[in-house]
Structures are given as C-alpha cells and as structure tokens.
Chain A
Amino acid sequence: MRTLRFHRARVARALMLGSTLTLLGAVACDNGLLNAPDPDLISPSDLDSPEGANALRIGALQRWRFATGGDNTNGQESTWLTGGLLADEWATSSTFVQNDELDERRIHLDNGTVTFDFRKLARVRTAVNQALPGMYKWRPTETTSIAELYLARGFAEMQLASDFCNGIPLTDASAATSPTDVKWGDPLPVAQVFQVAIASLDSGLALATATNDSTVKVARALKITKARALLGLGGATNVAAAAALVAGIPTDSIYSHTYAATSGSNAIWGQATSGRRYNVGDNVEGNAHDIQVANNLNFFSSKDPRVPSRYTISSKGDTTKSQDGLIYSRTTTLWGQETPVQVTSGIDARLIEAEAAFVSGNFNTPTTGTLAILNALRAAPHVLGGGVTVAAITPALTDPGDDSSRVAMLFREKAFWTFSRGQRLGDLRRLARQDPYKTWYNVGNLFPSGQHYRGGTYGTDVNLPVPKDEELNNPKFRGCLDRNP
C-alpha cells in the first residue's frame, strides 16, 4: 500500500512539475509580458524623416532660446542674467547663494547656476549637430533654416568664449549612444573658441544668400554675431573687418527670440521683474543708499531711458522688497512676460562701427566718427528690450577729450544700449585684455569692487569658470587654463 501511494505521488508530482514548468517557461518566453511602451518618449528612429528633421531643428532653436533670454516657464534661467550679475548690469536680490557668489565675484567651481549655463550653451551645440544631418538629408533645399542652425551654434560658441574662462572644451555627444561614445573636447583658449564660432557662422553665411526677408534677417544676425566674435578674437586687429561685415545693416534690424505664455515666458522678466531675484545694477547699494560700488555703472540711478527702471512704492509709502525680503526691489520695464529678447540688433552694428572708428582714430570724424555714430543713435527713437520704444536722448554727447574717457564713453553707451543682452561681461573682459584698451583699463578699474552690501567685499573673478563637473567628468579637461580676462 505504501509503495502504491508513493508511486501515485511520484506520478502526480512529475505531472505537476512538468506542466507547471512548461507553463512558466512559456510565460517567460513571452516578451509581450514585459513590453512597456512609454508615450512620453520619442525614439531616435521616429525622427528620421522630413518631419523629424524639422522637429529636431525646432528643438535646437528652442535650446538656443533657453540660453539667450531663457524660458521662465521651463525653468531655464537666461545666461545673460548670469553674465550681467558677474559684470555690473544686475545685482543679486535673491536668497540663492549661487547668485550671491556671482555678484560678489567669488564663484565656486560647483556653482549650480554657472554649471547649468555652461551645459545650456553646450546643449545648443549638441542639438544643432543632431539637427543638421537630418536637415541635409531630408530638407537640403531649406538653406535658410540650415543657416539659422549654424547661427544658433555660432552664437552659443561666441557666448561661451565671451563669458567663460580660457580653456573651454567643445565636446561632441550628438551621435553618442552611450557614455563611451562621447568625443570629449580639449580645453581651448577663448581665442580658439571665437574662431570655432566664426567657422560656424561662416557656414551659415555661405547658405544664407537668398534675398527674401527671412533669409536677409538670418544673414544680418549671422554677420553681427560674427562681428562680435571678431571683436572678441582681437579688438584692434579685427574691428575694421567686423565693421565692414555689418556695414549696411539697418539700425532697426532685429533678430529676436520670442515668447508666449503658452509655451514659455521671458526669463529675464520672470526672474528679474516678476520674481524680483535680480535688481538693476547701480553704483550705490543698500536701502539707505550708503554703500558705494566702485566701477559699477549707475544703470538704476542714472534714469537713462534706455534702462527704464524703478522702485515700486505702495499707496502707504512702503517700498516693495526683493525676493530676499531685505533689499528694495529695482525692476526694469524693458521686458514683459511674453515680450521678445533681441539676439542681434542693428544698434549692435552701429556700436561696432563706432568702436572701429575709435580704433582707427576717427572719434570726432563727422558722420562716420565714433561721436557722430553715438549721437546719431541717441538722436533717433529705437526699440529696445521686448519692444520698448525709447525716444531721442538728450543732450548729445560731447568729446571728453582724451582716449581713456572716450573709451569709457563708448562702452558706457554700449552698456546702456545693450543692457542685459549678454554683451557687457565680454566687453569688460575685452577692455582689460585687448589693445588698445588695456592701456587705460584693467580689472581693478572695470569690475565692481569694494564692500558688498551683503557683507564682505567683492572678490576677483572676471569670468565664469568652466564648472567642476567638467573637470571631474571630462577626461581631457583639468580646469581652466587661467582665469585671466
């Protein structure tokens, strides 16, 4: 009996085991069981089409927009705010330590804002490099669109060179499918990065040859950006070529990045005006106006119409404070939530011509001299910021008499005309490193210094460091080559 029971049991056990294992094996081989399609994702293969190429093109221009005026809705702070904070355009009024570091010119290598800015500009390059093959493959006749991509890449490279230290790596990860595929860049001197930018812009200029309005607009932006890169590469050496490049560009010509509340709002407005995290810079700080900031232009207190700015006073007489709850908020009305930012402007062209005139010794030359160009700009109304029309400015400028003062006048005018458009930091650096300006100017008489209103004194930084994350994770990068201007 016992033998029979065991026999039956073994048969049943074998049947059970066999059938169950067969079933489980079948289940295990059923890949559908583990299929988990996620509608949030776009597969790279989905983009290998004319429509996909266009989507990547738009994505690349979106990345560029994130880097210029930023995008407050999508959490992309403007790189122009960062540079303006280190220079003198903006002063910190937030509770963020990373902004304090920038304003105080004591930037830590792990500063999150700077890291993000560097990544943001690099993302423009990557996005353009991902979009270009598709455009050439699927939309080769859309040369203006391709040229505009080169403009985006060249502009980002120019901005990197303008703001960051010597030793900027330009990496290519556009086709990488794993971390080991990334082609890491060597640290390049600023001059070399300007040359890379010029090469990108030349590629665009070669394509933007049509005469329709949109192509002309792109071509003008390419020229102005290339001219800025030429100035960065060598002011005195290249300024004539730069001026020649932009000659003829109408003063009212504007290439903008636009915003809409539905897709993303202007981050300069969002952070500075709406969030009250940045105050318009001034040479006097403190609620009691008793802390002098050496070298800082008086953007706020000058009441210059090119930087319309104000305190907000309540009906009870209280002054609105900034996000930090301590400092009176100084906001500008140059930008609104949905107003565009000017990436390039005909005013830039005139200012380049004015600089060329000075370098060539034509400060007082009628019509084409520096003073004449600057006064011509002041004499006419212009659209600045997000669409603010600035009436003629009086009085006209007069020759201050010596070259040092002439340079100061030229760059002060430029600072007010181009407020928070990503040019001021690069200009201060140029003044400190380029001939002929370094004859009269150095870091000590250019950058904000003295007591900082938050306590302590200003530090010594004159540019943005390539961040620590690059040093730790790019095998070819071991830090800035130097931190010189």
Chain B
Amino acid sequence: MGLPRTVARRLVAWCVLPLGVLAANAAIAQAQQASITGRVTAQGSGEPLPESRVVLVGTSLFATTAQDGRYTIRNVPSGTYTVRVLRVGYEEQKKAAQTSGSETLTLDFAMSPVVVKLTEVVTTATGEQRRVEQGNTIGNIDASSVVATTAVSNVQDVLAARTPGVQVTGGSQTGGGGRVRIRGNNSLSLANDPIYIIDGIRMTSNTGSSNLFTGGTQPNRANDINPDEIENIEIVKGPSAATLYGTDAANGVIVITTKKGRAGATRWNGWAEGGALVDNSDYPWNYTIAGHTATATYRECSMPVVAAGGCTPDSLRTYSPFHDPSATPIGTGYRTKFGANVQGGSETLRYFVSGEREDEMSVLKLPTFERQRLDSVGTAIPDNVSRPNDQYKYSFRANLNASLSPKLDVAVSSNLIHVNTRFTQESNATAGIGSQIFGGAGYVNNGTVSGVGTPTPLHGYRAWTPGYTFQESNDQRLNRIIASSNANWRPFSWMQNRANVGIDYTSRVDLNLNLNGQGTPVSATNRLGFKDDTRAGIRNFSFDLGSTENFNPTPTLNSRTTFGAQYVNYQIDQGEALGVQLSPGSQTPNSAAVPSALEASTLSKTFGLFVEELVGYRDRLFATVAVRSDQNSAFGTKFQRVFYPKASLSWLLSDESFFPKPSWLDQFRFRAAYGAAGVQPGSNDALRFFSGVTANLRQADVPGATFTALGNPELKPERTSEFEGGFDTDLAHRRLHLELTYYSKLTKDALIDAILAPSAGAANTVKENIGSVKNAGAELAVNTQLYDSRPVSFDLAVSGSINDNKLVSLGNVPAQVNTTWRAVAGYPLFGFWAQPITGWDDKNGDGILTHSSDPNLNEVFVGPDPIFRGYSSPRYLASFVPGIDLFNHRLRLTSLFDYKGGYKWYNNTERIRCVSRQNCLGLMGADVVNGKLVPRASFEEQAMVVATRDDPSATLDGFFQPASFVRWREFTATWTLPEAWAGRYLRGRSASLNFAARNLHLWTKYRGIDPEIDRLAGTTQTTGANAPGEEFQTLGIPSYFTFRLNIGF
C-alpha cells in the first residue's frame, strides 16, 4: 500500500511551488551580508558548550554550537541586533551586535550555570519557540536521561509520573499498552487519548492495535518506538496549547523529538542492559467450606447457606496455585537490551545512526507440575507453552541533518522497527490463565481436566490447567517504518519556511493458532484446531507546511507571523483469514475444514489551515493570537468546516521596573492562554449504511444486506476550549523553580453515543453532538536544588495536580446506565454508581451476615436507589522525586514515589470469585470449630458478598473499592566512572554503570491485588477504552530490576 499517486502529485506541487516562488523572490534580496561567529563556553571552567542555540532576535537566523562550542550565523543583513544564547542548564544570555557590509563579527559567550536545569526551547505547531514566549505550560521530559538511568520498557513508561496532570495506567503482560490521560477525560464516546507527533509528522499511536483475543492486554503502537532513540518528549496538555494541531488534538499532544547528530568528531555510544522481572503481588487464597447435608455426604457450603441451615460444615479448605511453588504460573522474567549509536559530522552534514535489540520475557511460565506431566509422556514443550508471554524488538534509526546552504537546512529521519510479541489469554477470557487460577477450588485435588482425551489433574485450577491454556498462541509480528523529511529555508533574515512530510507505515500480522488436539475444551470445536491470520496495513501520511515572517517595526516591538497547512491521511486496511478445524500439524487457514475471510478498512483525512501572530514587546511581554480551520472526512454532509481560535499572553513581570524584586526572587512570569481544539468523530459515524452479510437459507449460503447504522448528517467534531493561567518563578538564586497552573476546559458538542431505544430495531447507538463536559484543575511543579557541594548534593522535584471532572450536559439524551458506571449530568464521566451498602447488623449474633426478605431478619442493608459512588480515575496525582549526588557527582541516587488518589477501582476479580467461582473470603472464609463456622472474613467483606449475591439489588457497591495508593515507582543508582577508568578498563571515552528498579513497593488500602491493574488499559474505543478501569482475573504488575552499562567511545 503505497502513497496514492494523486496525493503524491499534489504533495510535489504544494512543496515545489511555494519554494519556487520564494526562490524567485530571493533574488530580490541579494546583497552583501555579514556573519556573526564566536564560541560558547561555560563560565569558570571554560568548557565548550555544544548544542547551544544562538539566535538573532527578531529574525529567522540562528545557529547551533558544535562540539567545540563554536557557531557561525551567516547572511546577516546590516543592522543592529540582539544575539541570544539558550542552553539547558545555563542562564540565558543576550548581547548586542551591529553588523554592516560583509564583515565578520565575533561574539563569545560565557554561560552561567543554573542549579535547576530546564529546557528553554519548546517545539510548537509553528516550530521551535522559546518557552518564555509561550502562554502555556508545556511538559518536558528529558527522555535520553530517563532511559539511560531508569528501568523503562517503553514510551508510556517514560511518560508515567513525570509531568503534572498526566496519568498513565498499563496492563500487566509484557507488550501491553496503557491509557494516557492528560487533564482528565473530555469525551464520553470518543477517544480520550492524546495524539503523537514524531519529528514533525503524525505518529500512529492506536490503542488496542491487534486482532488477537487476550481477554485484556492489548498493544499500543506508541510503545513500538525505542525510547533510547528519543532526545526529549514534550507534552502539550490541552486545547489552549494544542489549537494549531487542530482536530484530534483536544486530548493533548505528545511531541517526540529523536536524537540528532552533533557536529564534531565521530562518537560511538554503546549500552547493554540486563535484569529480572518478579511479581510480588499479594494474590488471594481460594476457600472452600466442605460440608454435608442430610442427603449428601459431601457438599460445598458457603457461610450464608450454613447460616440458613442448608448445609453442615465439616472443614475449611484453603489453597491457591499462586501459593504453591509446584503449581504457580508466576516465575522470574528476564529483560535484556543492547545497542549502539554513532553520531558526528560537520556543520554541513550531521548524522545519528542507532541500532538496538531488546528482549523481555514476562513472569508467566508453565508451572512445574504441568512441565512434569508433559515430560512424563515425552511431549516436547514449545516456547509458547513454556513461556507464553514475551517480546523482542529491533529498532534501527538513521537521522541526517544537512545545511545545504546558509539558508537551507534539510533533515531526513528514518526508523525501522520490528516487534515480535507473544501474548496469552488472561483476564476476561474463559480459557485464560486468570479465569483458571483465580477461580479454582480451595483444595488441590479438585478433579481432572475433562474433554481433552486423557484427563489430567486440575491441581487447584478451575477447569483447565496452564498447559492447555498456553497451547493456544497469540503472536503479533510487526514491521514499521517511520520516515520523515524536514526542510527549513530562510530566504531572508525575516522569513523562515518549513516543510515536514512523512509517513508512518505499519505492517502488522496477528497470528492466533491452536493446533489440532491442543488448547482448552472451551467449546466443542476448540480442540479441533484453528488459525486466525490477520494482516493489517496502517498508514499515517502527513505533511505540514509553514511560513514564519519576523517583522520588527520598532526596536522594542517584534512581530512573528506564521501561516501554514497540515494534512493527515490515515488508513487501516485489514484482511483476516480464519480457518477452523485443522488437520493434525496443519497451521494454515486455507487447509482448514471451514475457512473464511474478512476485510475491514478505516479511513480518515484531515486538512487544516492556520495563521498565528506573535507580538513581543521589549522581550518581556508576548501576546499570541491564532486561528485554525479544519475539514475532515468524518464530518457530516451538512457540516463542512470547523474553526479553532487561540490567544495567549506571557509576561516577564520580574523584568518590569515596577515589579518588586527581592533578592530571593530571580524571575517571575505570568502566563495565560485560551484556545480550542477538537476530536473528530469515528470515520463512519455520520453515515447511514448497510453491511454485507452471509446468510444460510435453506442450507445454502447466500449474500444479503442488513441495516447497520442510522447515521447523522449533522455530525461535527467535539470542540474543547480551554483557559489556562498561572505563573513560573525562579527563586533563591535559581535554586528553586516553581510552576503553578490553573486550567478550565469545556468540551462542547460532545459526541454522545445516544442509545437508540431497542424497539427501533436499528443499531444500538447513534452519535450526536449534544453533550458537554468540563474539566478544571490545578497543577504544581517544583524543582529545587536543596544542597549542592562537591562531595554531596541533594535535589528534589515535586509535582502534583488535581482535576475536577463533570458531565455538564447530555443534551436531550437520558442518563446512560451501564453495569458499573453511568453518564449522568452533574457527575463525573465514567463514575461508579450503585445502590449503596448502608450498613449491616449481625442480628442473631452468629458472626455470619445473611439476607432476608423479612426486614426483621435481614442483616445487610442496601439503599433503595443507585447513587454516585466515586470517581473511576484518579483526581489527585503527585510525584516526589528526590535525588542525591555523591562523590563529586560520580554516584547519583534517585527515587520516584508516585501517588494517585481520590478514586475507586472495580475489584471485579473478587466479584466473580464471590458470585460465580464461590471461593472468595467473604463467602467462604470461615473456620469450622466444633461444627460451627467462625468467620475469618470481616463483616464488611461478608456484606459486600451478601449484597451482590442475595440482596435483590445485586449491588456491586462493595466491589468499588477505595484505590488511593503510593507506589515506590523507581529507584536508580548511576555511577559515572572516572574517564581514566573508562579508558583503561573499557577502552572508552566515558562509562557509567546503572542499577534501576521499577515498581518496588505499593502502599494502599485497596482490597484487590493492585489498584493500577487495568485490564482495559490497552483496549480500543469500541471495546472499553473509556470504561472505568478494573482488575478482572488479571495478574499483578511486575517489579523490574536491571543493570545497565553505558560506554562512550
């Protein structure tokens, strides 16, 4: 699937024509011009500072320093200028310069280091800009540093808990994706995920990107990207900042910039990482009360049945394969990674080339008793049965930056990725490992696996043992190429033109194979074998053209005007070949007795135009206004175009003479912004259409058509507008940097999946633009260097955020009622609702709570109506990141403590154990003493069981459990070896040794396994991505312990 020829032709036309016009115009401006050159060094040490950005203020001219700290800005027209130097870790510096004729002016800079290091330049939709000019806060993650020192497996690990207002939850299997939410949920029915931009082009970041049935865990395409290739990640949090990214950007934008080559000698870097995964989750025991009745010598009782006289208890039986070393499927996982990059070049051509291989094997393994069973009959154990969940990745990247002339820079980035992931069925899968291990009896000798020829012992598992579950393989093989080119042309000192064109193409193969005679007998045909082979091509083509003009009407007034166009063309083409009933050894759908084929496509196209005007006054007051207009293929036929406005103000108040400036205050900046952005409807939401079906009529398969969607010709995008205001300040000689931000955003025309009353006999729902959703909150970020000396220093970063979410209106649509959550105006989106358990009273004093329709005997009380029971996602986020440097900064120790609070989590694992499996503590947890039950379960645990099993309300209230937690997310120890040692022992230029641990400890009162387990984290919109998170027969989140060696040559 290549680029459509029509699009390619247009692309050429669009790119070449403006450039041609400009080339003609350029002749006008030919004149003798000067150069500014010099060297940027660190004050005191005189050490050269590469990667410093030297900017001629009020023009498009700039340069970046090479490894020796030198820079040259050419083609400077005669005039008076201010030259500004920006570099991370150093205080911004400005100098005046006057040029005339063709002279070369030399300006050197000695930069003062700052204690708290912040990035001074941010990437925006109109190009790179100084942070201080932005009316918004933009999160910034120094990804290269994070990856080199912490135990992160993917991009979402890099994002987690490092920026206020950003929440990441993940699955528990290796290769699983997570949910990323920025400043809350905006949409009831559309995606709430941010979009991703990588090196200027749109990146595919689908959730639930597979056709595999796992019961939960699904991959997210954002995690294909190798974090080792990323220089930094910027998080554009809301519409006030994301306006110019247009339709789709309302949930935020994650801007990834990959590493680039630096001018200078060739430098090699290599790294090797190895480590282990362990699962320290506190898994529940399974309980069974063994008893008898007058007519049966053995009966499995429960506390309520015993209390009602329906059973006489004999003993409590307690067991779980989790706690039996011979039966547990939890082992030790492994992780390895090794790679290298090389970079260097000259001022005119710089290169960065990188390659890496990464392997991760999860903690899941074939239990010992199953291995012995298979060994005893001489059955070979294939990899997918022995270790059913693993992933390996290759990633190759080549980035070239060329300065073809002083006026024209060109960059080409290419990334080739191969990912091979094996999942196993878990969570909401009848045959999955979770269903079997959480659902087993409270004893080990609970019968045999039936329906499999020769029955084998269940060993405490529910119906099938892991050897059968793991035989069905779920593999994803993925090849992906991301290629982009960027041209930056500055025909005049006042003009900069840029063009980004690129494609992100993914070839995905999903293979679900169950060989004949293998797998679970979950149905009568399952062990006859099947092969489901799905091949998808995901294409994300985008271009972005822009032109920025600087205009300085007076020496104190700078104007920058940018206008541009963006186009995104996204398409998934998927073909599926399914074959059911295979012959022994057969692995192809076409060899099956019942082959079938399916095709599915998704297309979406957006074209946007924007213009932005930024005015700077005396380099301390910056005002921006902008507007973007979008057209989209998913809009209804009666809606053509949407406009998104934007305005922002940034004011360096501390530079004003009237502003008090005590000695402890270094800088104070006020900022405010307003903007709007959108989210497009689903690609076919606006259409009324039918679908082709195959019907069997009178024993013959014939083609037909059935009504699929009612459609809505008025459909338009959701529109979220946001106000953001706050301040940044540097205090105590720049030892402390503080940012405080308030935001309030309102989503209007929110697309609601309005339920069509069933009697309509049509689709379940139809999209309507009728709702509104509000998110408001505050964010705080503090970075401080508490103590700094040569032998020891101590720094601390603290961030926190609070979000209030409310569904303001559902339009004319009634409240939407789901099993666990409701959409009710005036309450948070996706909040938990239930008839509340209002209390309990052990009236007969037997220690066992029971339900009775007689109010005088009833012992568990439930409120009459469902009420709001709590947020289903955290309202409060905080992180606490202390760091200590020892031994002249050679050893650095850091930790990250992650807090999430103000919400509940659905302990669906315990619910099914109590309601269906009948092995939970609240139902079965009672010792038998002298023929009577003495409950281990608290009244609270009993009440939640009685309320859902026996009370007519069947309320789930007890399983919506407070989930606030603090997790010791990361610990790292990085030892930078003396260069002499690196040279002597490793023959390298530099070296560091790193130990990193992730998910070390959890403090919580949550009753389930882990309040971060989210079986729906990686799912698509249609399969529950917006539904509240829940644990449901889901395995725990593992801890990572890794060692990493970094060597520079």
Residues of A bordering B, CB below 8 Å? 1, 5, 8-9, 11-13, 15-17, 19-21, 23-24, 27-28, 30, 32-44, 46-47, 52, 55-63, 65, 95, 97, 100-101, 106, 108, 110, 112, 115, 118-119, 122-127, 130, 168-171, 173-174, 176-179, 182, 184-185, 258-264, 269-270, 273-275, 286, 288-290, 312, 314-316, 318-321, 323-326, 337, 340, 451, 454-456, 459, 466-470, 472-474, 477
Contacts and interface: CB of A to CB of B under 8 A. Distances in A.
A469 B18 contact: no
Nearest to B948: A97
B556 interface: no
A315 B439 CA distance: 25
A28 B631 contact: yes
B705 A472 contact: no
Interface string B821-860: 0000000000000000000000000000001000000000
B451 A59 contact: no
B607 A258 contact: no
Q: Chain B interface mostly helix, strand, loop or mixed?
A: mixed
A258 B18 CA distance: 64
A232 B819 CA distance: 34
Interface stretch (B357-365, B594-602, B993-1001): B594-602
A320 B607 contact: no
Interface residues of B, number: 125
B757 A178 contact: no
Given A9-B492, A59-B693, A179-B768, A474 B762 contact: no
A56 B704 contact: yes
B699 A119 contact: no
Contacts of A110: 817-819
Contacts of A57: 704
A283 to B, nearest CB: 15
B430 A469 contact: no
A11 to B, nearest CB: 7
Given A62-B704, A275-B522, A454-B949, 18 more contacts: A5-B31, A15-B21, A33-B7, A58-B702, A122-B758, A126-B762, A178-B711, A182-B760, A260-B699, A263-B694, A319-B450, A326-B917, A337-B524, A456-B851, A456-B949, A472-B815, A472-B817, A477-B757
A360 B711 CA distance: 54
Contact of A40 (B6, B24, B299, B599): B599
Contacts of A178: 710-714, 766
Contacts of B607: 27-28, 33-34
22 contacts: A15-B25, A16-B495, A32-B6, A34-B607, A39-B599, A46-B690, A59-B707, A95-B917, A97-B915, A184-B760, A261-B580, A273-B524, A274-B524, A288-B293, A290-B296, A314-B451, A316-B455, A326-B918, A455-B949, A468-B817, A472-B816, A474-B757
A249 to B, nearest CB: 19
Contacts of A56: 690, 704-705
Nearest to A129: B761
B707 A127 contact: yes
Interface string B411-446: 000000000000000000010000000010000000
Nearest to A20: B18
B826 to A, nearest CB: 17
B10 interface: yes
B695 interface: yes
Given A55-B703, A261-B594, A314 B448 contact: yes
A314 B450 contact: yes
Contact of B25 (A12, A38, A264, A477): A12
B565 interface: yes
Contacts of B25: 11-12, 15-16
A59 B706 contact: yes
Contacts of A9: 29, 492, 494
B549 interface: yes
Contacts of A174: 761
Interface stretch (B114-122, B144-152, B302-310, B793-801): B302-310
A184 B759 contact: yes
A182 B756 contact: yes
B403 to A, nearest CB: 22
A171 B633 contact: no
Nearest to B526: A274
A262 B694 contact: yes
Nearest to A21: B563
A332 to B, nearest CB: 13
B17 interface: yes
B455 A115 contact: no
A134 to B, nearest CB: 10
Interface stretch (B170-178, B387-395, B680-688, B927-935): B680-688
Interface string B701-745: 111111110111110000000000000000000000000000000
B460 to A, nearest CB: 12
Given A27-B14, A290-B296, A473-B755, A42 B605 contact: no
Pairs A-B, 7 closest by C-beta atoms: A58-B704, A126-B761, A288-B296, A122-B761, A62-B695, A36-B633, A474-B757
B382 interface: no
Contacts of A39: 599, 601
Nearest to B641: A28
A315 B454 contact: yes
Contact of B310 (A59, A316, A451): A451
Contact of A130 (B10, B707, B816): B707
Nearest to A95: B916
A473 B754 contact: yes
A270 B523 contact: yes
B705 A173 contact: no
A30 B304 CA distance: 71
A81 B699 CA distance: 23
Contacts of B697: 58, 61-62, 258
Contact of A290 (B26, B299, B952): B299
A289 B305 CA distance: 16
Interface string B959-970: 000000000000
A466 B817 CA distance: 15
A56 B690 CA distance: 9
A289 B523 CA distance: 25
A19 B601 contact: no
A320 B453 CA distance: 12
A176 B451 CA distance: 49
Contacts of B563: 17, 20-21
Contacts of A100: 915
B455 A38 contact: no
Contacts of A314: 448, 450-451, 455
The interface centre, meaning the residue of B691, B692, B693 with most chain A CB atoms within 10 A of its CB, is B693
Contacts of A126: 707, 760-762
A16 B451 contact: no
A27 B818 CA distance: 45
B711 A177 contact: yes
A288 to B, nearest CB: 3
Contacts of B757: 169, 171, 184, 469-470, 472-474, 477
The interface centre, meaning the residue of A36, A168, A259, A454 with most chain B CB atoms within 10 A of its CB, is A36
A467 B950 contact: no
A5 B493 CA distance: 11
Contacts of A17: 563
Contact of A262 (B596, B602, B918): B596
A177 B705 CA distance: 17
Given A12-B29, A178-B710, A320-B450, A173 B704 contact: no
A263 B813 CA distance: 37
Nearest to A130: B707
B693 A62 contact: yes
A311 to B, nearest CB: 10
Contacts of B683: 36, 38
B565 A24 contact: yes
Interface string B254-296: 0000000000000000000000000000000000000001011
A27 B21 contact: no
The interface centre, meaning the residue of B523, B632, B954 with most chain A CB atoms within 10 A of its CB, is B523
